[in-house]
């Protein structure tokens, strides 16, 4: 869980900071349309950055061992997430594909999505987030291997700077058999790229 050595500002101080920014950009924070904006922004930030107050490891503590010997890949693909760039505080929007090959225990699939969300709901760079997701699953479940691929659009490149819309950044982190065994790695890649025909 993230820690901060500095004393946390009060809500009133946070709202005052937003008013300062509104005035700095050239608007009038006292005008009717902006009077409640600082309150709304702080409420939004509580949701956007809720991952700072949650422990991703705790999400994986409840495991199951009654699997009848299942030891093949477990994959949760296309986990949609929204995060924020720690350099510019603009959105990172994308998908994560998370897989592991169990050794002795498995975890409820919703917990994998929650781990992605907890790390996404913090100021991030995609490379670090990819490693954090994989390392947490590996440390708690101790599987034979973990594979994580993250694909995302960064508004810090599409809405500012070089203004390159539609660019997708891909990052991956492989551990255990997915790193050491090219066949396991290829199976993972095949699974995430195979079209799924939904009949439900």
Query: 127 to each of 66, 133, 148, 173, 179, how far by Cα in Å?
Result: 34, 10, 11, 9, 17
Are 145 and 184 in contact by the 8 Å Cβ rule? The answer is yes
How many residues in total does the chain contain? 200
CA separation for the pair 128, 145 (Å, rounded): 19
Query: 91 to each of 67, 68, 96, 120, 176, how far by Cα in Å?
Result: 39, 42, 15, 10, 32
Residues 6+ apart with CB under 8 A from 15: 38, 39, 41, 42
Residues designated as active site: 85-88, 126, 154, 156
Alpha-carbon Rg for the chain in angstroms = 20
């Amino acid at each position: 869980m993230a820690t901060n050595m500095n004393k946390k500002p009060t809500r009133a101080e946070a709202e005052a900071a937003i008013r300062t920014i509104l005035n700095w950009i050239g608007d009038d924070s006292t005008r009717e349309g902006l009077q409640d904006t600082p309150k709304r922004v702080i409420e939004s930030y509580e949701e956007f950055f809720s991952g700072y107050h949650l422990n991703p490891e705790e999400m994986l503590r409840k495991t199951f061992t009654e699997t009848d010997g299942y030891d093949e890949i477990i994959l949760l693909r296309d986990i949609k997430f929204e995060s924020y760039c720690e350099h510019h505080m603009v959105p990172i929007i994308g998908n994560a594909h998370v897989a592991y090959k169990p050794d002795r225990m498995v975890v409820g699939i919703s917990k994998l999505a929650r781990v992605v969300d907890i790390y996404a709901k913090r100021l991030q760079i995609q490379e670090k987030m990819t490693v954090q997701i994989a390392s947490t699953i590996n440390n708690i479940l101790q599987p034979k291997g973990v594979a994580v691929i993250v694909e995302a659009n960064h508004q810090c490149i599409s809405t500012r700077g070089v203004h390159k819309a539609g660019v997708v950044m891909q990052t991956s982190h492989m551990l255990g058999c997915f790193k050491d065994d090219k066949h396991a790695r290829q199976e993972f890649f095949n699974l995430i790229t195979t079209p799924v025909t939904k009949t439900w």
